[in-house]
C-alpha cells in the first residue's frame, strides 16, 4: 500500500520550476476528488476562486459599472514528476453554470479526464461538448460503481464519442487504475501532438 505523507509536509524540490496541469471533470458525485486523492502525494486541498464579470450594456447607460460575482470551489492534488516538474490535478465542477471557469482552468492544461458514471451519463454531455469546442484533448474514464453492466461500446455510443477519443474503465479509488488513466491521457495527447492531422 502506498503511504501518503502527512500534510503539510512534502515540500517541492527547491529546483521545481515547471507547473503542469491536468483537469478531472465530471458530474457531481462521480468521483473526481476520489480520483485526485488516489494519486496525489498530498491530501487534496480545497480552494475557491471568485469570478467577477463585467457589466451589461444596460448598466453602462446609467454610468454605473455593474458586476456579477460567482464563487467556484475546486479540489486539487499534486504529483512531483522530477526535480523540475510538478503536475497538478484539478477536480473541476462539470456543471454548465461554471462554464466561464473552464477556459481559465484549462489554459495551458495538458488535457482533461472526463470521469463518467454509467448510470448518469447525461451528466457528462456538457463537459464533453465543452472540451471538444475548446479543442482541449481529453479521454473518458468510466468509474466503476458496480450496477448493471454496460460494455464500453454501449457507453461510447450513448456519449456519441468518436473512436479517436480513448474510453477506459477505471476505479477512482485505486492508485494503479488512476495512474493508467493518466498514462492513457498523456499517450493520447502525445499522439495528437505528433500527428496534427489526426485531430
The residue ranges that bind another protein (CB under 8 A) are 8, 11-14, 16-21, 33, 39, 43-52, 71, 73, 75-76, 78-79, 81-82, 85-88, 90, 105, 107-108, 110, 135-137, 175, 179, 182-183, 186-187, 189-190, 192-194, 196
The nearer residue to another protein, 69 or 151, going by C-beta atoms, is: 69
Conformation bin of residue 62: beta by default, left when phi > 0, alpha when psi is -120 to 50? alpha
CB of 46 to another protein, least distance (A): 5
How many whole angstroms separate alpha carbon 50 and alpha carbon 69? 7
CB atoms within 10 A of CB 82: 10
CB of 150 to another protein, least distance (A): 28
The nearer residue to another protein, 48 or 163, going by C-beta atoms, is: 48
The nearer residue to another protein, 76 or 118, going by C-beta atoms, is: 76
Backbone φ and ψ of 79, nearest 5°: -135, 120
The nearer residue to another protein, 45 or 155, going by C-beta atoms, is: 45
DSSP string, 38-66: HH-SS--EEEEEEEEEPPPHHHHHTT---
CB of 62 to another protein, least distance (A): 20
| Length of the chain as a residue count | 199
- For 151, the grid coordinates are 460494455
CB of 165 to another protein, least distance (A): 14
Amino acid at each position: 500500500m502506498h503511504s501518503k505523507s502527512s500534510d503539510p509536509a512534502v515540500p517541492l524540490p527547491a529546483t521545481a520550476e515547471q507547473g503542469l496541469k491536468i483537469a478531472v471533470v465530471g458530474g457531481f458525485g462521480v468521483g473526481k476528488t476520489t480520483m485526485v486523492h488516489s494519486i496525489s502525494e498530498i491530501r487534496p486541498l480545497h480552494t475557491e476562486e471568485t469570478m467577477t464579470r463585467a457589466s451589461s450594456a444596460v448598466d453602462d447607460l446609467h454610468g454605473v459599472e455593474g458586476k456579477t460575482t460567482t464563487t467556484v470551489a475546486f479540489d486539487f492534488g499534486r504529483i512531483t514528476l522530477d526535480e523540475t516538474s510538478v503536475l497538478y490535478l484539478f477536480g473541476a465542477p462539470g456543471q454548465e453554470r461554471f462554464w466561464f471557469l473552464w477556459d481559465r482552468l484549462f489554459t495551458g492544461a495538458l488535457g482533461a479526464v472526463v470521469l463518467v458514471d454509467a448510470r448518469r451519463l447525461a451528466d457528462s454531455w456538457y463537459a464533453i461538448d465543452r472540451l471538444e469546442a475548446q479543442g482541449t484533448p481529453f479521454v473518458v474514464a468510466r468509474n466503476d460503481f458496480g450496477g448493471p453492466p454496460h460494455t464500453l461500446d454501449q457507453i461510447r455510443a450513448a456519449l456519441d464519442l468518436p473512436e479517436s477519443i480513448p474510453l477506459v474503465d477505471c476505479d477512482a479509488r485505486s492508485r494503479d487504475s488512476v495512474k493508467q488513466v493518466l498514462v492513457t491521457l498523456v499517450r493520447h495527447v502525445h499522439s495528437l501532438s505528433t500527428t496534427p492531422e489526426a485531430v
